[in-house]
Amino acid sequence: MVIIFENLSANQADTYRLVLSSSGISHRSRKGKHGWDILVNDTEHEKAINKIEQYLKENQDFHPTDEPLRHEYRKTFTGLWVSAILLASHVAITIGNDSEVFVRTYGASAFHILRGELYRSVTALMIHANAMHLAGNMLGIAIFGTAVCTITGWGVGWFMILATGVLGNLMSAVLYKTGHLSIGASTAVFGAVGILAAHQFFKKFRLPGQRMRAWLPLGAGLALLSILGSGEHTDLAAHLFGFIAGLILGAFYGVFVKRPATRAYQICFLLIALSVLVMSWMRGFGQG
**In the chain, domain spans:** 2-58, 78-287
Task: Find the farthest-apart pair of alpha carbons in the chain and give their distance in angstroms, rounded.
Answer: 70
Could you tell me the fold of the domain covering 78-287? Answer: Rhomboid-like fold (1.20.1540)
Please provide residue 266's backbone torsions phi and psi, each rounded to the nearest 5 degrees. -60, -45
Whether residue 165 contacts residue 125, with contact meaning beta carbons closer than 8 Å, is answered with: yes
pTM: 0.74
Between 80 and 216, the more confident residue is: 80
Confidence of residue 281 (pLDDT cuts 50, 70, 90): very high
- Which residue, among 267, 109, 79, has the nearest Cα to 176 in the 3D structure? 109
Q: What percent of the chain has pLDDT over 70?
A: 87
Per-residue pLDDT tens over the stretch 149-174: 988 989 999 999 999 999 999 999 99
What pairs with residue 37 in β-bridges? 30
CA–CA separation, 275 and 288 (whole Å): 20
Whether residue 124 contacts residue 108, with contact meaning beta carbons closer than 8 Å, is answered with: yes
Per-residue pLDDT tens over the stretch 86-143: 999 999 888 877 778 888 999 999 999 999 999 999 999 999 988 998 999 999 999 9
Could you tell me the fold of the domain covering 2-58? Answer: Alpha-Beta Plaits (3.30.70)
Per-residue pLDDT tens over the stretch 75-85: 678 899 999 99
Tell me the torsion sign for CA atoms 253, 254, 255, 257.
positive
